[in-house]
């Protein structure tokens, strides 16, 4: 099994808080991979903890992103939010059906998580980030930074 997903600058949205949250999510997904690589006596407990961290942090991150997008009036907001809720639905279903994830199943799940997240960041998140940046072009750097801080 190989590690397939990592952060790269091409994923940057230009909003540092959001980028940090994306890095954290990639690192939680990597924990799922690392645990699948080292199935010891504590495997089930370690995996359960990682999956809990994944669902908790995903929920937090999506709500932050949605708040930000909505506060800026992003026109693709509804579509973006439904991508988030589809993902949450799939993750919850997988976690339930794979309650006792074996390492092979965990690796398949890991591939799904990483593929979805990196594709979502590269396409959908960058789309809203570019739109917001485009809207901010008439503002001074300071106004834009203040608006961003207030929106987050
Ligand atoms: Fe998103």
* pLDDT digit string (tens) for the chain, length 152 residues: 788 999 999 999 999 999 999 999 999 999 999 998 988 888 888 988 999 999 999 999 999 999 999 999 999 999 999 999 999 999 998 887 665 668 889 999 999 999 999 999 999 999 999 999 998 776 666 666 777 777 66
C-alpha 95 – ligand 1 centre gap (Å): 21
Burial class (CB in 10 A: 0-12, 13-18, 19+), 51: buried
58: which 2 tokens? 């995903």
C-alpha 120 – ligand 1 centre gap (Å): 6
100: which 2 tokens? 């006792």
Handedness of CA 31, 35, 37, 38 (dihedral sign): positive
pLDDT of residue 142: 67
C-alpha 101 – ligand 1 centre gap (Å): 27
**CA distance to 9, 25, 46, per residue, from 110 (Å):** 22, 12, 15
pLDDT of residue 27: 97
C-alpha 141 – ligand 1 centre gap (Å): 24
Residues 50, 35 contacting (CB under 8 angstroms)? yes
The predicted model scores a pTM of 0.88
Residues 15, 129 contacting (CB under 8 angstroms)? yes
**150 closest CA partner among 72, 81, 79, 54:** 72
| All domains of the chain in start order, with CATH | 15-151 (1.20.120.50)
Q: Give the integer Cα–Cα distance in Å for 145 and 93.
A: 39
pLDDT of residue 79: 98
C-alpha 40 – ligand 1 centre gap (Å): 34
C-alpha 26 – ligand 1 centre gap (Å): 13
């Amino acid at each position: 099994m190989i590690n397939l997903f990592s952060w790269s600058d091409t994923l940057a949205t230009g909003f540092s808080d959001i980028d940090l949250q994306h890095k954290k999510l990639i690192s939680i997904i990597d924990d799922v991979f690392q645990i699948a690589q080292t199935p010891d006596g504590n495997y089930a407990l370690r995996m359960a903890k990682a999956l809990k961290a994944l669902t908790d942090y995903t929920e937090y991150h999506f709500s932050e992103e949605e708040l930000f997008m909505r506060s800026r009036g992003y026109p693709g907001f509804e579509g973006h939010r439904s991508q988030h809720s589809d993902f949450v639905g799939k993750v919850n279903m997988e976690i339930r059906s794979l309650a006792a994830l074996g390492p092979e199943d965990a690796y398949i799940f890991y591939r799904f998580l990483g593929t979805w997240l990196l594709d979502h960041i590269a396409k959908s998140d960058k789309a809203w980030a570019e739109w917001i940046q485009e809207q901010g072009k008439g503002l001074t750097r300071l106004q834009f930074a203040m608006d961003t801080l207030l929106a987050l």
